[in-house]
Amino acid sequence: MGADLHGAPRPAGEPLLRVERLVKHFPLTQGILFKRKVGAVQAVDGVDLTLNRGETLGLVGESGCGKSTVAKTLLRLEEPTSGHAFYKGTDIFSLGRHELRALRRQIQIIFQDPYASLNPRMTVGDIITEAWEIHPGIVAKSDRRDRAQELLQRVGLSPDAVNRYPHQFSGGQRQRVGIARALTLNPDIIICDEPVSALDVSVQAQVINLLEEIQDEFGLAFIFVAHDLSVVRHISDRVAVMYLGRIVEIGDESDIYERATHPYTQALLSAAPLPDPEGRENRARVVLEGDVPSPANPPSGCRFRTRCWKAQEVCAEQDPQLLDRFGHGHPSACHFADTSLEPPRSAVPPAALA
Amino acid sequence: MTATTPLASPPPSPTAHLLEVEDLHVEFRTRRGTVNAVNGVSYTLDERETLAILGESGSGKSVSAQAVMGIIDSPPGFVTSGSIRYRGTDLLTLPERDLEQVRGAKIAMIFQDALSALNPVFRVGWQLAEMYRVHTGTSKGEAREKAIELMDRVRIPSARERIDSYPHEFSGGMRQRVMIAMALALDPDIIIADEPTTALDVTVQAQIMQLLKDLQDESGLGLILITHDLGVVADVADRLAVMYAGKLVETAEVHELYRRPAHPYTKGLMASIPRTDQKGTRLSPIVGSPPSLMRIPPGCSFHPRCSYRRDNCKTDVPPLYPVGGGRASACHYAEEVMADGR
């Protein structure tokens, strides 16, 4: 059990959630009867995070960077390979079945696909009240229907939705049902895994507004996993950028979007098309070469070096730690972290000279 | 198949647009009723031009493009009226034999999902070469060389080594390049790209859009870009046509449109995307959701969601009113919308 890990009294200002050295490797096997492990997909490879009460942490990156795997391990929907995640001082990864069930009252999730995440054979009312049956004692049986109707109204659906089935709703309305379900147990944290990616632009904005409203109203902290950079910027207080299973840069929303120092963050931001045609001909743009390497066989040293225009020999030899090397005010996992896009003048990282 | 014969119909008129779609109607007759997917769409495309057709799911943007390509499953889909003129020749009245010389050859299409558009059991190079060989009647050896040349042209690194790979050995971005190579094989004048980068990551998306732009510069292609992404449109389009419930609601040059939208729907879309200066404020989404194409509201189809609506919007169908500067908007109160700064 993790008791020894958090025996000491919690210091003031302890974050709601603290993730340390989170690793999730998926084994690659060969053979049919006798499966031999021949390698591992390093989906998440040493991630540290904190989440404070009431804040939104955006988790961005391209497909396969591990952002959704991080989200799933925090609920133990995937078992982590190693690492710790302390929720109010308790290590989520060391909990037994019963304790885990209690924990899941506090951490809920909203999925990307509102079509797949609602049971088509249950009415919306049953979907909402199911959680109260699993966790009895929160809402008395006789009150459940009323409470479900209240919640549905809160997320902008009509109370008579309780009698209807998921297929009778549009994508945006289904996502509202998903949000109502996440609120049933009055959690502290909601993990939003690409909650608006499948929705049309006009509906997406409605759901983003709703998420912000319920966050204020219920004092929720969000981990907001998404690939849409402008949506993440809008909703997040802090942002972590992931590449090949690692966080490459983390900071306040303005640190990341206005003062990015990691070349990958810079490339990602410059590649994202802006919804404004003014000055598009003169916009500075970094178009990265090639694709993301396989997470089963990541490059040595810095994982981004194979696509990086700043890469030097040292990048292949030394794995850059996530540090604030040069006083930029937020950590970045690059030997040559700099807000400028210029390639480094010297092959030796400035930190080694200092 | 015999070698290419020149288009039998009247010689291309020099004044004609590269592509001219006029009053196109497409419906799908299903057991549950008729789906009015495209209800009178008109647009033109010229050489070297990029026209973006913007719309949300169910707006009819893809179906209108499929009608141009002639790839609508019929039944249930029917092009009920309208014309589609390629260099002045109406494709809807052209005999099948002549049509083959245009569709797929002069007008090619790229789809969103490159993995399902490629056959997984054949090598990529073979699929490219075979398509070329069938259409042009060249030898297998020549076709293979052509495949390598095409893969080079879409910047697939070491094309000669990769020609014998299978689709699954390519990344999503590389597969989309193969699709573009296939579209380019017969030297088209027009490429219709239906959400070509939607399934791709943002850094790869930038590569593909850059490639399409380069190819357009090289050979003067007319490009129709079908998308829901206001960012992509702002990045590459010259002109923009916005679709809602199977109709064009606004057409304009792209800078003009972003500066001053003339239709409440376009305006609502713009207000729905988070911008830097809106940080910390709520977005202003459009209320409600798009209508089902089986039950399009009477009058202006956008009226139930519109904040500018008056009584006549519920009954009178707005035509595309010209609103100056070559722009048009299907709103009875377009001038008010344009003048309104919010």
Question: What residues of chain A, 239 to 268, have a C-beta less than 8 Å from chain B?
Answer: 253, 257, 267-268
Whole-angstrom Cα distance, residue A234 to residue A221? Answer: 15
Where are the alpha helices (H) located in chain B, listed in sequence order?
61-69, 96-102, 114-117, 124-136, 140-153, 159-162, 172-184, 202-219, 230-236, 254-259, 264-272, 334-339
Q: CB distance A202–B272 less than 8 Å?
A: yes
Whole-angstrom Cα distance, residue A173 to residue A171? Answer: 5
Instruction: Give residues with Cβ within 8 angstroms of A10, minimum separation 6.
Output: A88, A89
State how far Cα A292 lies from the chain centre: 19
State how far Cα A262 lies from the chain centre: 19
Which residues are bridge partners to A69 per DSSP?
none
3-state helix/strand/coil string of B286-299 = CCCCCCCCCCCCCC
Token duo for residue B244: 């809602």
Which amino acid appears at position B340 of this protein? D
Asked whether the beta carbons of A62 and B202 are under 8 A apart, the reply is yes
pLDDT beneath 70, residues of chain A? 1-13, 351-354
pTM of this structure? 0.85
Question: What residues of chain B, 154 to 213, have a C-beta less than 8 Å from chain A?
Answer: 157, 171, 173-174, 201-207, 209-210
Whole-angstrom Cα distance, residue A343 to residue A320? Answer: 17
Q: CB distance A273–B234 less than 8 Å?
A: yes
Q: CB distance B283–A205 less than 8 Å?
A: yes
Of the candidates A172, A257, A278, the beta carbon closest to that of B289 is on A172
DSSP helix/strand/coil, A106:
helix
Which residues are bridge partners to B28 per DSSP?
B35, B77
Contact list in B for residue A273 (CB cut-off 8 A) is: 205-206, 209, 229, 231-232, 234-235
Asked whether the beta carbons of A245 and A48 are under 8 A apart, the reply is no
pLDDT beneath 70, residues of chain B? 1-15, 341-342
Terminal-to-terminal C-alpha distance of chain A: 43
CATH class of B19-237: alpha beta
Candidate CATH numbers 3.90.340.10, 3.40.470.10, 3.40.109.10, 3.40.50.300; the one for domain A2-258: 3.40.50.300
Whole-angstrom Cα distance, residue B72 to residue B70? Answer: 6
Per-residue confidence (pLDDT) for residue A92, from 0 to 100: 93
Fill in the DSSP letter of residue A161.
G
Asked whether the beta carbons of A166 and A120 are under 8 A apart, the reply is yes
Per-residue confidence (pLDDT) for residue B27, from 0 to 100: 92
Nearest CA-CA distance, residue B157 and chain A, Å:
9
Whole-angstrom Cα distance, residue A99 to residue A129? Answer: 21
Contact list in B for residue A253 (CB cut-off 8 A) is: 279
Mutation target vs B (from A157, A170, A276; most B CBs, 10 A cutoff): A276
Domain assignments of chain B as residue spans, ordered by start: 19-237, 243-339
Whole-angstrom Cα distance, residue B146 to residue B11? Answer: 29
Whole-angstrom Cα distance, residue A230 to residue A222? Answer: 17
Instruction: Give residues with Cβ within 8 angstroms of A116, minimum separation 6.
Output: none
Token duo for residue A2: 């993790």
Per-residue confidence (pLDDT) for residue B312, from 0 to 100: 93
B34 to each of A263, B74, B75, B78, B80, how far by Cα in Å? Answer: 52, 13, 12, 11, 12
Contact list in A for residue B60 (CB cut-off 8 A) is: none
**What was the ipTM of the complex prediction?**
0.81
Neighbours of B339 (CB within 10 A): 10
Task: Give buried/exposed letters for A175-203 (b at 16+ CB in 10 A, else e).
Answer: bbbbbbbbbbbebbbbbbbbbbebbbbbb
Task: Give buried/exposed letters for A218-228 (b at 16+ CB in 10 A, else e).
Answer: eebbbbbbbbb
Whole-angstrom Cα distance, residue A246 to residue A332? Answer: 11
Asked whether the beta carbons of A56 and A237 are under 8 A apart, the reply is yes
Element (H, E) at B40: strand B33-45
Which amino acid appears at position A200 of this protein? D
Asked whether the beta carbons of B289 and B274 are under 8 A apart, the reply is no
Cis link prior to B75 (omega < 30° from 0)?
A: yes
Of the candidates A208, A234, A276, the beta carbon closest to that of B279 is on A234
Q: Which regions of chain A carry the CATH code 3.40.50.300?
A: 2-258
A and B: number of Cβ contacts within 8 A? 121
- Angle ∠(A55,A56,A57) on CA atoms, nearest 5: 120
B35 to each of A100, B243, B291, B322, how far by Cα in Å? Answer: 49, 16, 11, 29
β-pairing verdict for A82-87 and A90-91: antiparallel
Could you tell me if B82 lies within 8 Å of chain A, comparing CB atoms? Answer: no
Q: Which residue of A has its CA nearest to B268?
A: A202
